[in-house]
Structure 1
Amino acid sequence: MDTVAGLLNQSLDPRQARPAEQELRKYDKQQGFTLTLLQIVNSNQLPMGTRLAGALFFKNLIRRLWTDEDGNYLLPETDVVAVKNEIIPLMISLPSALQAQIGEAVSGIADSDFPDRWVDLIPNLVARLGTDAKVNNGVLKVAHSIFKRWRPLFSSDDLLREIKLVLEQFVQPYYALMLETHKRIEQTSGNKDVLLELLKTMGLLVKLFYDLNCQDIPEFFEDHIKQFMDILHNYLIYSNPLVETTEDSESGILEVIKTDICEILQLYTQRYEEEFRKALPTFVGATWTLLTTIGLQSKYDLLVNRALAFLTSVAKIERHIHMFEATEVLTLLIEKIVIPNMTMRESDEEMFEDDPIEFIRRDLEGSDSDTRRRAATDFLRELVTKMDSRVTEAVMRYVNGFLEQYAANPAQNWKAKNTASYLFSSVAAKGNVTAAGVSTTNLAIDVVGFFTSSIAPDLVSTTVNPILQVDAIRFIHNFRNQLTKEQLSQALPLLVQLLNSRNYVVYTYAAITIERILSVRQNNVSVFKAEDIQSEAAQLISALMQLILRSASTSEKLSENEFLMKCIMRVLLTVQGAMQPFAAPLLPQLVQIMTAVSVNPSNPRFNHFLFESIGAVVRYAGAQIGISGLEEHVVQPMLQILGQDITEFIPYVLQILTEVLSLQPAQSGLPESFRQLIRPLMAPVLWEPKGNVPALVGLLEVILSRGASVVVSDGLLTPLLGVFQNLVASRSNDQYGLELLEYIFYYVGHEHLKELSKQVAQLLLMRLQQSNTDKFCSRFSLFMYFLASTEANNLGPAYAIFFLDQVQQGVFGQVMTSFMLPSTLKIGGTFNRRIAAVGLTKLLCRTTEYTTGEYSSQWAHALDILVRLMKYNMAEEHTSVPIGLDLEELSFGSSFSKLATTAAKPLDPVPDVKHPVQFFNDELKQLAEKFGPAVQQLLQNLDAESREYLRQQGV
């Protein structure tokens, strides 16, 4: 315990964190280690930092090692049983900071074990509920950590069965506790300490209300809807000076409860409106009152956001729009709710100055930040959708009024113009505005005219308030789709100039908008080409790099502003080959940034755009930089990152190395640095993170394409097949195993695989028999067609049959009938279907087994499948790899983050066959010439539809 606690303590120091974590992971599967971690978390003798580090490590260990993809435990069975016995009472007794982490671990365990392998979980929780509010709160936190898993899930029979089981065991005690807690709150309204604890209980009960209703409204809740709604209404309007916080920025328990109630109201409006309809007007009225009386302090921001989201959901329903139609109501909504929540507050100004990156992330149109402005904008847009002309006319009166205030005294009344800009944008754009910009505008408003007269002058003004300059840039950002290429081209130099601003938000918003302008597409084609920005590209990249390096005091500061790096990436993707004049000096700068941020990779979005930028330079200028330059500036620094085991960077580094090696001419062989890398790439520890697998496979494939002979001569073929064996045994990685196997057969060849191919075939057949899935069956079928389609290294249709029949004569025919043919039409993608069509054509037309031999009885059925594959699934193939990057929806975690700039073409076993239908026709005609009447007889066994198709093709 002392050793583990010491390592956890070291992990708190950034300089020792990585080696400490690596040392801790050596204990991962040792019996008793998980219980030691829980003892540390529970020890009052240890510092809180050490206990929190233990809770975090325990949570992550559960995520990594509780079960494999098939649900089998990866930890010792005694530990599994002990953890489930001890974790609930432990969590209930912990301080809240630790409860949050252990709660995530409970949620992870419940994901795999509840309800079937943790049957006593809910009875155990219910048995602990009583009169002690602190114990009750611990129990309810555990329950919430389990039930909140349901919120984002798609409905399924298993999920609904789990919820039904929970409701049967939990809902009655839950309801009784809610009634009792409500009663005790009313009785103890003057005792602050007791009241706070009881309000925490009510807050957790409200969270659980949402959990239990998130998939469907349970019958119990429907039967008791009045009682539940009365309690929710009570706490929506509840106030008590004793428990109100004095802080302006920190939400108190009442704000949290009211926020969660508004989420429930939105859920019921959207999903259970029929059951909720009677209570709806009462809650709408209470919400109006709340919004018109609540303060502007930031502690209320999330509550205001959720309250407005509820009103927006009501406004979406046609039969409820009458609640908002009266002129006096509309005036009230705009004056008392919309405008106050769109007006810039002092706290917003402070954030603009003191935390500019957070200001930008919250402010960006299309972001998911829960701000007052975003919610007010969404509400106003919904009102415009339902009452177009009336709302537009009313809002424009306020817009003009604010502009007049500004014109009277620009220095003093700049906030009036800021509000006018937001109001105008809110009614000018129709519907939801995404990261792609405004798609539809309000026809009653002249967007371009407003920009020209009221917004554009602020772009070039040297005296205007920087917030108004940001408003002007944002206007271009939001309405870029409504501006012509000529107008955007005129704006670009102004935006480039604003990169020289000394204001963080101004230059960052300029970079964001430049990036978005360069990403504008029409008919799925980029509007801006290399020639449009070629003359400014070097200056633009230089300015952006200087802005990034200006913040280089720490790795965290260096990588703080992902928007600048994203703009660099977009410029490089736009200029492509035209980057050559500045690519050579840029590449080492980018790699130096990579090395610097590797110390603490704190911003995954920045890191992704950084590696995309490196990938773009390598891809489009790598040939000019040369192999020796790439070896010095890219390969060696990347190998150092691999050696340091920087987990977040490994998938990216592997992809960049793959791109570098792909530039090497195939005939020039394998560079020594990559030869030395092969054996380390097969180390099992490197394959444990799921995100590494696709990149590792990709690099091994390109190594095979350049150095298959090296793999054989260095005795690495057997370990490489061991990698395949592990991959193909995994349901989540089997496709990568079969893809790697294609490269092994294609480049290594049958001669070197003679002694091993039978074992490979046995492994695949065993997987088909014992653990088959539709996905595996389709991918296995494609692999067999791959073998049949290519003539490389003595492969081909005869070899494909031999490959399986060497296990047992006649197996190929059984596999073809039972697995391959039923899966053929499920093979996805034009590229893959072409391989399948060619492979199946060769099997049917070039092997005696199918033309006259033991499998000839399958010929007609197989040809029917082939005809259907060609008839319905052969669309025009696009072999190029386009880079139409739109990285707004990036998510980061254990999954693989693919670099678009290093996307390689898949291995094509039949590059000479561009038209599989024509190839099939030619093959069938040759077969007919060879066997004559026998083939005609086989064709007569086809179904009528296939015969007609062949007749149309001239066969």
Structure 2
Amino acid sequence: MAPPDLGSLANLLDATLDAHNHRRAELQLNIEAKKEQYASVLLNIVENAAQPLKIRLAAALAFKNFIRHNYVDEDGKYKLPEAEVADIKQRLVNLMIASPPTIQTQLGEAISIIADSDFWERWTTLVSDLVNLLSETDPKVNNGVLEVAHSIFVRWRPLFSSNELNTEILHVVGGFGQAFIHLLGLADRQIEANKNNEQALKGWLETMSLLFRILYDLSCQDLPAPIESNLQDIVLILEKYLAYNNPIFDGEEDEATPVETLKADVCDALQLFATKYDDDFGPHIQMFTLNVWNVLSAVGPQRRYDILTSKALQFLTAVASVPRHAENFNSAETLNQIVEKVIIPNVTLRESDIEMFEDEPIEFIRRDLEGSDTDSRRRAATDFLRKLLENFETLVTNVVQTFIGSYLQAGKTDWKAKDTAVYLFLAIAAKGVVTAAQGVKTVNSHVNVIQFFSDHIAQDLLNSNVQAIAEVDAIKYLHDFRSQLSRDQWLSVLEPLVKKLGSNNYVVHTYAAIAIERVLFLTDDNGQHVITRADIKGSAQLLLEHLFTLIESDPSASKLQENEFLMRCIMRVLIVLKDGILECGIDSVLNHLITITRLIKQNPSNPRFYYYHFEAIGALVRFCSGSTQVNLLDDLWELFSEIITEPVTEFSPYVFQIFSALLELDSANTVTAGRLQPVLVYILDISKWETRGNVPPMARFISAIVPKLTAQIKAENQLLPILTIFQNLLAGKKTEQNAFDILEAIIASFTGAELEQYLGQIITLVFAKLSANPTDSLKSRVVRFYHLVSARGTGAGMGADYFIKHAEIVQANVFTPFYLTVVLTTTSQFARPVDRKLGVISYTRTLCDSQAFATRYMKGWGFTCNHLLDLLKNPPQVAAGFGDEIVNEADVDDIGFGIGFTPLNTCKRGPRDDFPDVPNVNEWVSAYMKAANQRTGGAIGTYINDRLSPDAKAVLAPYLA
């Protein structure tokens, strides 16, 4: 296939930036991506200075995303031709260095992705190439080189130590260490030489910042020799730039200048050395603590100092974490100064905070509640105060309470002062972090959180004529200390909270939704929900209408999906109500959800919002599918079919999960083949499986659709394409489990005669996987496959003999070792009742129906019987139902959220029971054995007598009695 045309590809990239045409352009771009040299042509566009910057940036972004998914497979093997790999590596570093900053960022991430698989064994020249590019005079070149280096080395920071990691770091230090030390000195001299040349100075200050970040990278696991031997000089440079100032940068209010960025990077490095290398760095701690204190005392409230202030406070927190250094803070006078001069100035609301509250409310909420404010002044000051509290609880509590008292007094006429008092109380009352599930679990024994709420907070919750921030403080107090309130206390504040949903203030009604959602999730020590379905059933309809009105107040796609907290509250209400929603206006709820889906599918932009949105739809499916009041299949089918066929790629994995749940719960088989066939045809297109996030839900969908469409699949000759998908999925480690989901659905739906021509090839593929160092989970799936063939028995044209016949065609005498070492051994380790039940049925039918076990594997008959009796010692009982009763949503703060496949927990499927008509296995085994013994003229009794030990005979006797 010819490479893409550069001009056409550039036009397509331009079209992806157009809101009206981006989806069509992205689909076309996916086609172009299959052509040879696609990645290289993208680099040509990036390199072409004649192209508009936006197109070059789009090409860099497309290149990064292409490399992420197409550079290597899950085994680390190249998916691109090696010549193209070599071309990319040869060009990428120089191209990044020569590119504008926005493009540098994207290419730097691409280099980091490549380094994940190739560095350093398959990219041994990278370090020397970087060192050779360093310049004595050009900071732009150096900054490009150091950005590349940092993008690779920063990967080491969160990793656990290992031989491989240490070898990689030694390789880097060997080639980069001395150049790093030299560049530190060079940058220091150039900063001094260019102190009056703003442009050059900015470049060299950025160089020094990057060097301090790389100092952290190189030292994050162990202290490298070049740094250890030059530690004294490095300490002097750190000290110098912590105190560095230059009047050239005076006057800036909002944006951090290179000086603040540099000092923040110094504090980062100091924090690492203070916590990890106390033996080497300990003598310098007191000096740096004083210097950092001086920095904090000198900075103003302007936004330009926010990151620096936060990093400085994080260093002091690290110092306070080392017991012998923490003693420096152990006096009432020192703590008084810290609270007055550092804590209070950094927790007090600033004008910029109030502006964000009013102008960017959703950003204010995320920063405050979600922890996305890890570099905010308030969060850093709180962490420092709590670390001091951890060390000196009584002393810190007494000092802070004095300030709280004076600010509460001032707060009678000044709402900002009261906000400071409430924030200080929150900071010292909570011990440990505020957990997502329970809020504050442990409180400071020297304060009374309920009393403080009654005396100072409650009136702001009940009174609507107070400042909006005061209302928010009251709601946040409830949110944080939710585990400390009793059920009765919560019931008393629930109604005022629901009323706050009617507030015109964006932050107030959003905080109310957050608090309501979290208390509905809250459980007591026995795992029981504090607020039950009965508690909210009467107000649920009004509550849901409030929430939908807030979400739909602006019908534009971007604004409608902006506030994920409102949708999360809707999801939680539906999960708590379960089928109670049928009495609370399910038609209205469903219409709202369908309307929202139609609007946001035009331009999905907030993965958290639409995740909670589909969990909400999933809750309706899970709890209401069996009702005659609503036909969810009819109501959702057209919309979901549109999403799949358009396609809306962000929604497809969720839609397939809900589709699957609808089919699995459709016991009456109300869905028609005419509806199902077009969707099946769509997913039999092998190209649709190239998107990894589609694989688990589409495999489940096939598993759900095969039993419904068995006759049509035969008539349309679609079994072979389905088996081809099974074969492709089985080949990948990350998709092999999905392959077995499809295979089990096929085995359970077709007869032995219909599978006759395919089973040999299936067994060949499965045995090949078994021979390649299989995991325990893979063995379990292979054995489940065997048991399903065996358990379906002669009535379906299958059974143990059917499997043996095809296995022996594949390889003579292969069945005996497979059965003894894989089937019997793995089955004895089954933990799930549904798997053990399948084993019982398989073994029983083998003992009663198999001619091979009756005549050829006589010892195997005895082994099988003994293993059956072991399973029956604790007879498996499979609970009916659809997954777990408790529904926990995915952690959307997880780094992998929204990338690929995110499961919907409301649609989580329970273990597959292929024999629901066998509720009591003991009774079934007894009846089946008796009937077989009678049918064979007593042969089963003879086998028992001849092939079992006396103990086994005694155990089995009641089953034939």
> How many percent identity over aligned positions?
38
- State the TM-score, normalizing by the size of structure 2: 0.92
Residue type matched to 2:68 in 1? R
1:727 corresponding residue in structure 2: 729
Change (3 A) 1:653 1:270: same
Deviations along 1:568-616, one digit per CA (max 9) or x if unpaired, are 1111111111111311122122111111111111100000111111122
Contact 1:382–1:431, Cα closer than 8 Å, also in 2: no
Q: Does 1:881 align with 2:884?
A: yes
2:190 corresponding residue in structure 1: 184
Contact 2:726–2:742, Cα closer than 8 Å, also in 1: yes
Change (3 A) 1:33 1:950: same
Distance in structure 2 (CA, Å) of the matches to 1:801 and 1:254 = 76
Distance in structure 2 (CA, Å) of the matches to 1:664 and 1:786 = 23
1:612 corresponding residue in structure 2: 615
Residue type matched to 1:76 in 2? P
- State the TM-score, normalizing by the size of structure 1: 0.92
Alignment of 1:858-937 (within 5 A): 880-891=883-894, 892-911=897-916, 929-932=941-944, 934-937=946-949
1:658 corresponding residue in structure 2: 660
Change (3 A) 1:625 1:415: farther
2:536 corresponding residue in structure 1: 533
Contact 1:562–1:609, Cα closer than 8 Å, also in 2: yes
Q: Does 1:431 align with 2:432?
A: yes
1:288 corresponding residue in structure 2: 293
Residue type matched to 2:81 in 1? P
Deviates more, 1:500-509 or 1:632-641: 632-641
Matched pairs, number = 940
Residue type matched to 2:818 in 1? V
Residue type matched to 1:287 in 2? V
Change (3 A) 1:722 1:323: same
Distance in structure 2 (CA, Å) of the matches to 1:855 and 1:300 = 82
Alignment of 1:509-908 (within 5 A): 509-522=511-524, 523-552=526-555, 554-581=556-583, 582-624=585-627, 629-668=631-670, 670-770=672-772, 772-791=774-793, 793-820=796-823, 823=826, 829=832, 831-832=834-835, 835-836=838-839, 839=842, 847=850, 849=852, 853-854=856-857, 856=859, 880-891=883-894, 892-908=897-913
Deviates more, 1:670-679 or 1:440-449: 670-679
Distance in structure 2 (CA, Å) of the matches to 1:924 and 1:292 = 86
Contact 2:862–2:947, Cα closer than 8 Å, also in 1: no
Deviations along 1:650-696, one digit per CA (max 9) or x if unpaired, are 10111122222234234556442112211111112221111111110
**Structure 1 residue 863, shift from structure 2 partner:** 8.3
Residue type matched to 2:539 in 1? E
Distance in structure 1 (CA, Å) of the matches to 2:193 and 2:833 = 70
Change (3 A) 1:114 1:452: same
**Structure 1 residue 899, shift from structure 2 partner:** 1.0
Distance in structure 2 (CA, Å) of the matches to 1:948 and 1:444 = 67
Helix, strand or coil for the counterpart of 1:754? helix
Distance in structure 1 (CA, Å) of the matches to 2:676 and 2:948 = 55
**Structure 1 residue 262, shift from structure 2 partner:** 2.3
Deviations along 1:437-463, one digit per CA (max 9) or x if unpaired, are 111111111111110111000012132
Deviations along 1:51-97, one digit per CA (max 9) or x if unpaired, are 11111111111112111112222223332221111111111111111
Distance in structure 1 (CA, Å) of the matches to 2:246 and 2:230 = 27
Residue type matched to 1:165 in 2? H
Change (3 A) 1:310 1:758: same
Distance in structure 1 (CA, Å) of the matches to 2:573 and 2:497 = 14
Distance in structure 2 (CA, Å) of the matches to 1:160 and 1:939 = 58
Distance in structure 1 (CA, Å) of the matches to 2:286 and 2:802 = 74
Residue type matched to 1:269 in 2? A
Alignment of 1:52-201 (within 5 A): 52-131=57-136, 132-201=138-207
1:486 to 485, 488, 496: 488
Distance in structure 2 (CA, Å) of the matches to 1:346 and 1:7 = 44
1:2 to 7, 17, 22: 7
Distance in structure 1 (CA, Å) of the matches to 2:486 and 2:626 = 36
1:23 corresponding residue in structure 2: 28
Change (3 A) 1:492 1:210: same
Contact 2:730–2:736, Cα closer than 8 Å, also in 1: yes
1:944 corresponding residue in structure 2: none
Distance in structure 1 (CA, Å) of the matches to 2:955 and 2:313 = 60
1:256 to 252, 261, 264: 261
Change (3 A) 1:178 1:913: farther
Deviations along 1:693-724, one digit per CA (max 9) or x if unpaired, are 11101111111232222222221111110110
Contact 2:150–2:214, Cα closer than 8 Å, also in 1: yes
Distance in structure 2 (CA, Å) of the matches to 1:137 and 1:465 = 48
Distance in structure 2 (CA, Å) of the matches to 1:886 and 1:714 = 39
Distance in structure 2 (CA, Å) of the matches to 1:286 and 1:921 = 83
Contact 2:890–2:905, Cα closer than 8 Å, also in 1: no
Deviates more, 1:465-474 or 1:155-164: 155-164
Distance in structure 2 (CA, Å) of the matches to 1:267 and 1:834 = 55
Helix, strand or coil for the counterpart of 2:135? coil
Change (3 A) 1:387 1:875: farther
Deviations along 1:171-192, one digit per CA (max 9) or x if unpaired, are 1211221122223323433332
**Structure 1 residue 119, shift from structure 2 partner:** 1.8
2:216 corresponding residue in structure 1: 210
Deviations along 1:84-118, one digit per CA (max 9) or x if unpaired, are 11111111111111100011111111112222222
RMSD of Structure 2 on Structure 1 (CA): 3.1
Change (3 A) 1:475 1:142: same
Distance in structure 1 (CA, Å) of the matches to 2:179 and 2:255 = 32
**Structure 1 residue 868, shift from structure 2 partner:** 8.6
Distance in structure 2 (CA, Å) of the matches to 1:915 and 1:15 = 59
2:272 corresponding residue in structure 1: 267
Change (3 A) 1:347 1:543: same
1:398 to 392, 397, 403: 403
Distance in structure 2 (CA, Å) of the matches to 1:794 and 1:893 = 44
Ranges in structure 1 where 5+ consecutive residues have no aligned partner: 941-946
Distance in structure 1 (CA, Å) of the matches to 2:307 and 2:918 = 60
Deviates more, 1:87-96 or 1:25-34: 25-34
**Structure 1 residue 844, shift from structure 2 partner:** 7.1
1:382 corresponding residue in structure 2: 387
Q: Does 1:371 align with 2:372?
A: no
Distance in structure 1 (CA, Å) of the matches to 2:866 and 2:239 = 66
Contact 1:691–1:894, Cα closer than 8 Å, also in 2: yes
Distance in structure 2 (CA, Å) of the matches to 1:215 and 1:849 = 61
Helix, strand or coil for the counterpart of 2:531? coil
Change (3 A) 1:142 1:829: farther
Distance in structure 2 (CA, Å) of the matches to 1:679 and 1:464 = 60
Ranges in structure 2 where 5+ consecutive residues have no aligned partner: 1-5, 934-938
Distance in structure 2 (CA, Å) of the matches to 1:34 and 1:698 = 33
Residue type matched to 1:415 in 2? K
Alignment of 1:452-531 (within 5 A): 452-522=454-524, 523-531=526-534
Helix, strand or coil for the counterpart of 2:856? coil
Q: Does 1:337 align with 2:342?
A: yes
1:232 corresponding residue in structure 2: 238
Deviates more, 1:647-656 or 1:759-768: 759-768
Change (3 A) 1:800 1:396: farther
**Structure 1 residue 289, shift from structure 2 partner:** 2.0
Contact 1:245–1:252, Cα closer than 8 Å, also in 2: no
**Structure 1 residue 362, shift from structure 2 partner:** 0.9
**Structure 1 residue 367, shift from structure 2 partner:** 5.4
Change (3 A) 1:625 1:205: farther
Distance in structure 2 (CA, Å) of the matches to 1:751 and 1:713 = 15
